[in-house]
Chains A and B, each alone.
Chain A
Amino acid sequence: MKTGPSFSYRVEPLGSSHDRTAFHSGVPELDRYLHQQASQDVRRKVAAPFVMVDGDGGILGYYTLSAYAIQLAELPESIARQLPRYPLLPATVLGRLAIASSWQGRHLGRLLLMDALHRSRRATSEVASVGIVVEALGKTARSFYLHHEFVPLQDHQDKLFLAMAAIEKAFQAS
């Protein structure tokens, strides 16, 4: 790993002690969210932002999680029979994920993604979720999620899905 042995970081919920304005990922929308909206989302409980910080508390990256409901279409009887009869399935949204521009290219995005998966999986002991839906803004983001085995939703251009069952398998086997 290019980051070296002395490098240390942790992932924690966004709090008032974090210097949000110093964060720059190179994607204005993702920066603006952290600078202007994230704290409000925490207060309103709309989304839970988590930040990856270095030893000094500087923000290296962040992601947000929130709950989601997936409404299914009418299914052929043969498939419908196998599914629980819920009109809505509970899911988790990984709404945003960003790495500071000075830290890009060191596989921190992958670590942050795995932290999000791990956290979501742990949360299913309290609140059920069939999987994670991500919103991939742009080609780079899309190929990042495809590479990590997310499946595109055919009729929602920017959205991809990863089943919680797959996440469980990954963490059980590792």
Chain B
Amino acid sequence: MTDFVLHSAEAAAERTIERRAMLILTARETEALASAILNPPNLGPVLLEAAREYRKKLAKR
């Protein structure tokens, strides 16, 4: 297939997804998501540090 055809197909697929604005999960994804929502694991250091840095730099302006 030419790049053009591939690109058009991709773009069309993207538009379709955007129009539906919906993500359909499989069973194991549903379980993983449910556990992330119900029992969020303890945060690692990266997100905490990033939030701290963000507050210092941007949030207080």
Contact = CB atoms under 8 A, between A and B. Distances in A.
**Interface majority SS on A: helix, strand, loop or mixed?**
mixed
Interface residues of A, number: 49
B37 A153 contact: no
A19 to B, nearest CB: 22
Q: How large is the interface on B (under 10, 10 to 19, 20 to 34, 35 or more residues)?
A: 35 or more
Interface string B42-58: 01101110111111011
Q: Among B28, B31, B36, B47, which residue has the most Cβ atoms of chain A within 10 A?
A: B47
**Interface majority SS on B: helix, strand, loop or mixed?**
helix
Nearest to B36: A163
B9 to A, nearest CB: 15
Contacts of A79: 31, 34
| 5 residue pairs, one from A and one from B, having the closest CB atoms | A114-B54, A174-B51, A174-B52, A170-B51, A165-B40
Interface of B: 18, 21-34, 36-38, 40-41, 43-44, 46-48, 50-55, 57-59, 61
13 contacts: A70-B22, A70-B33, A75-B34, A83-B37, A115-B54, A118-B54, A118-B59, A147-B46, A154-B28, A155-B25, A155-B29, A166-B43, A170-B50
